[in-house]
């Protein structure tokens, strides 16, 4: 009988907090490993050693070794560094040619080669570490070639080919697409992988498609999103591929780090509160928010908050359609974010047109974002699609009631308010019409001003919702167990 050991799980991702973050992917990769049962799983993370990683972390890294890999006709240097943070071991792949930029991503033609190199280097690194994984848990298109390279290695009889893979899709919109000939030249993959059976889609090579087809399991970051992407509207051109592989596709809801996001102890907000004290303390944070952003300081005014990337995905066309009418009411709007110039310009316009009523912070400040969560009464997030969403979870944690569209993780996490049963933790609408958004905004405003006791009950429920990582970690653990058991058969 084989001696029982912990399952070895290697997370492969292009970003991870606290080293590099551009979106929710980094939060997941930084948080999930810490919540998996360490008595059963030895979980480690491997990511690129970007130039933009803060020096405080670079100085703590230990050099392990270096070697070279073949990438198509290229022979490239790979350096390996290691550091431990908390209970998790992190590995960093070094190559200044690929990772010397001041941000993790650049032009797509550069990223296509960069992450082909990264994916190949992840696999080859396993032979130089005292850690041969049972499973490589790949995240998004940047790591989606790992199952493809492993399949080719399996065909070649290499032992690495036996490693199982899970591919988690954080946002199907981003797929890693480039020309077939160029990708074959970069990767050195055999002709069979550049066909419609694997990477080819609409005349291009598609990294994410190859990963979906060849990974042992595919997950998305919410159950509803896993169903939505089987449809043409949400499937981003890959709905047929998802449907054809439906037997191995499932949705596991992301969690929230309840220690990191805690209004009782958050050092970034001026006044702390709990579900028992928010009625007295939260208005003080509202006043601090109003003062900081130049809104009229009035604790009685209903404040709506937005913390977001400014992209069409987030429903800003809907918001822009309703603001002229909605701002006629006794409401204020606090926005922080950056992105597409048309949306930055839109919020600039409203902030200038409605001084003291609309505030727009262009860019990003974590401290200001936290103050918006703590100081706002409601949180506006009418996304056209939302794989999971973290902002609505943070907002509920801080007692800011989400107003959302029923899609993806928003539908899975925000139970609509039911005035007859006095249940629910937010407000939602189903369609994609501006009048539906305006109607639900008016409804939330009416409950806030005319039914304050009911509003406070909604806040009570929102702040006590449990969206910690424990449930998600158990689901992933069950998947790891299933895959490794099959591998033992």
Identify the structural domains of the chain with CATH numbers, from first to last. Answer: 7-255+470-488 (3.40.50.2000), 278-463 (3.40.50.2000)
Q: Give strand pairing partners of 303.
A: 332
Q: Which residues contact 370 (CB under 8 A, 6 or more apart)?
A: 266, 268, 269, 398
pLDDT of residue 489: 43
Closest CA to 152 of 178, 116, 110: 116
* Terminal-residue alpha carbon distance, the chain: 13
414 CB burial (10 A radius; 0-12, 13-18, 19+): buried
Closest CA to 207 of 137, 115, 130: 115
CA 175 → CA 214, 312, 376, distances in Å? 15, 18, 35
CA 357 → CA 51, 296, 304, 349, distances in Å? 41, 7, 10, 12
Please list, residue by residue across 43-52, b when 16 or more beta carbons sit within 10 angstroms of its beta carbon and e when fewer do. bbbbbbbbee
Cα–Cα dist 481/489, whole Å: 12
Contact 167, 217 (CB under 8 A): yes
Q: Which residues contact 207 (CB under 8 A, 6 or more apart)?
A: 112, 115, 116, 141, 142, 144, 145, 148, 175, 176, 177, 199
Decide: helix, strand or coil at residue 249. strand
Cα–Cα dist 183/92, whole Å: 24
In this structure, what are the phi and psi dihedrals at residue 45, rounded to the nearest 5 degrees? Answer: -125, 140
Closest CA to 31 of 259, 215, 249: 259
DSSP structure class, residue 71: E
Contact 193, 408 (CB under 8 A): no
Cα–Cα dist 330/73, whole Å: 65
What are the structure tokens assigned to 31, written together? 């948080």
- The structure's pTM equals 0.94
Q: Which residues contact 22 (CB under 8 A, 6 or more apart)?
A: 15, 103, 104, 105
Rg over CA atoms, the chain: 24
Decide: helix, strand or coil at residue 400. coil
Cα–Cα dist 134/391, whole Å: 33
What are the structure tokens assigned to 230, written together? 């089987």
Contact 297, 269 (CB under 8 A): no
DSSP structure class, residue 151: H
Largest CA distance in the chain: 74
Dihedral in degrees, nearest 10, Cα atoms 294, 296, 300, 305: -40
Closest CA to 362 of 318, 319, 313, 307: 307
Decide: helix, strand or coil at residue 390. coil
Q: Divide the 489 residues of the chain into consecutive groups of 10 and give the mean pLDDT of each group.
A: 75 97 92 96 98 97 98 96 96 96 92 98 95 97 98 91 96 97 97 97 98 98 98 97 97 94 97 97 98 97 97 97 96 97 98 97 95 98 96 98 98 97 97 97 98 98 95 96 74
Strands, E, within 233-284: which ranges? 249-251
Q: The sheet that has 427-429: what strands, in order across it? A: 358-362, 331-337, 302-307, 378-381, 401-405, 427-429
Cα–Cα dist 216/186, whole Å: 25
Cα–Cα dist 149/160, whole Å: 10
Contact 422, 451 (CB under 8 A): no
Kindly tell me the sign of the dihedral angle through the C-alpha atoms of 199, 201, 203, 205. Answer: negative
Dihedral in degrees, nearest 10, Cα atoms 434, 381, 378, 414: 110
pLDDT of residue 76: 97
């Amino acid at each position: 009988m084989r001696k029982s050991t912990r399952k070895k799980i290697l997370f492969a991702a292009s970003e991870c907090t606290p080293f590099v973050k551009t979106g929710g992917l980094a939060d997941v990769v930084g948080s999930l490993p810490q919540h998996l049962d360490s008595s059963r799983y030895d979980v480690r993370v491997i990511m690129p050693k970007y130039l933009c990683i803060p020096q405080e972390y670079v100085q703590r890294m230990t050099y392990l070794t270096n070697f070279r890999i073949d990438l198509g006709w290229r022979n490239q240097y790979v350096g390996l560094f290691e550091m431990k943070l908390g209970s998790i071991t992190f590995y960093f792949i070094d190559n200044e040619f690929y990772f010397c930029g001041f941000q993790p991503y650049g032009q797509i033609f550069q990223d296509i080669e960069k992450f082909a190199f990264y994916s190949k280097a992840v696999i080859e690194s396993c032979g130089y570490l005292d850690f041969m994984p049972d499973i490589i848990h790949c995240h998004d298109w940047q790591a989606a070639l790992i199952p493809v390279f492993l399949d080719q290695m399996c065909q070649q009889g290499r032992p690495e080919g036996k490693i199982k893979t899970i591919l988690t899709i954080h946002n199907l919109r981003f797929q890693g697409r480039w020309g077939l000939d160029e990708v074959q030249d970069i990767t050195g993959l055999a002709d069979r992988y550049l066909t419609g059976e694997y990477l080819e889609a609409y005349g291009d090579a598609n990294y994410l498609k190859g990963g979906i087809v060849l990974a042992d399991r595919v997950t998305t970051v919410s159950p509803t999103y896993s169903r939505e992407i089987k449809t043409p509207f949400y499937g981003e051109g890959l709905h047929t591929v998802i449907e054809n592989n439906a037997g191995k596709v499932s949705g596991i809801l992301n969690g929230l780090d309840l220690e990191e996001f805690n209004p009782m102890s958050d050092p970034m907000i001026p006044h702390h509160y709990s579900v028992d004290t928010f009625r007295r303390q939260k208005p003080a944070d509202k006043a601090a928010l109003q003062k900081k952003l130049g809104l009229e300081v009035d604790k009685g005014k209903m404040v709506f908050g937005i913390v977001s990337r400014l992209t069409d995905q987030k429903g800003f066309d809907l918001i822009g359609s309703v603001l002229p009418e909605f701002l006629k009411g006794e409401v204020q709007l606090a926005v922080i974010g950056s992105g597409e110039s048309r949306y930055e310009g839109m919020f600039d316009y409203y902030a200038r047109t409605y001084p003291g009523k609309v505030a727009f912070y262009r860019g990003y400040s974590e401290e200001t974002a936290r103050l918006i969560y703590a100081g706002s009464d409601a949180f506006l997030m009418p996304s056209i699609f939302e794989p999971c969403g973290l902002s609505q979870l943070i907002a509920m944690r801080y007692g800011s009631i989400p107003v959302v569209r029923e899609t993806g993780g928003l539908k899975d996490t925000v139970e609509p308010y039911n005035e007859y049963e006095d249940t629910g933790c937010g407000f939602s609408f189903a369609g994609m019409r501006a009048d539906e958004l305006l109607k639900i905004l008016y409804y939330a405003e009416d409950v806030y001003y005319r039914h304050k006791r009911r509003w406070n009950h909604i806040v009570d429920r929102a702040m006590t919702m449990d969206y910690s990582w424990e449930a998600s970690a158990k689901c992933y653990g069950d998947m790891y167990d299933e895959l490794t058991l099959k591998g033992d058969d």
